[in-house]
Amino acid sequence: MRTQAIILKKIPIREYDALVICYIKDSGKQIYQAKGILQPTSKQAGHLDILNLVDFSLVHKNSHPIITSAYCLKAFPHLKSSLSAMAAAFFLLECFDKLVFEGESDPKLWDFLLTRLEIYNGQSLLAIDWPKLIAETRQEILKTLGYDPSVPIEYVANAQFKSSQFARKVLE
């Protein structure tokens, strides 16, 4: 069975393998293993890049399911060519990493994530008020998750957001 996902984060394990944290429409945030993607000659490495919308198959083994035959459906090239858009996107991905629980499917969250990435991809070449857009993203994700949008996101996550500091420096 093929699965569509957005890659949120990659964590290197062993010499050439990585854990890939992704958000899937049907099953929420999931962690899968990608064998050999850190090798310089890996054909899957570019497909399993952070911020990509990908399609892949899974093979179930002992610990984490293993990603096979990954294919990038959308790479969001305009977003990745703008440092301001990347700062906003990294904040969004960190929100999903810290606020969304593993294995809980929510079609609203999937739509929110995909829509925001499309907005960042389309807006990255225009003169845009990025701090305002990031603040709107912060309020919308809290509202979508069922929290009061006026509550500080760091309080909800019980953690600091490194991407917020990065975004402030980039957008100064």
- What pLDDT was estimated at residue 164? 84
CA distance 165 to 99: 18
> Per CATH, which fold does 2-74 belong to?
OB fold (Dihydrolipoamide Acetyltransferase, E2P) (2.40.50)
Q: Give the residue extent of every domain in the chain.
A: 2-74, 77-171
Residue 125 pLDDT > 70: no
Whether residue 124 has pLDDT greater than 60: no
- Amino acid letter, 137: T
* Per-residue model confidence as pLDDT tens digits over 130-144: 899 999 999 999 999
How many C-beta neighbours within 10 Å does residue 148 have?
9
pTM score > 0.85 for this model? yes
User: CA separation (Å) from 108 to 25, 26, 127, 170?
Assistant: 9, 11, 29, 30
Query: What is the average per-residue pLDDT within 9-26?
Result: 92
Task: Express each pLDDT in 40-90 by its tens digit.
Answer: 888 888 888 999 999 999 998 777 799 988 999 999 998 999 888 999 999
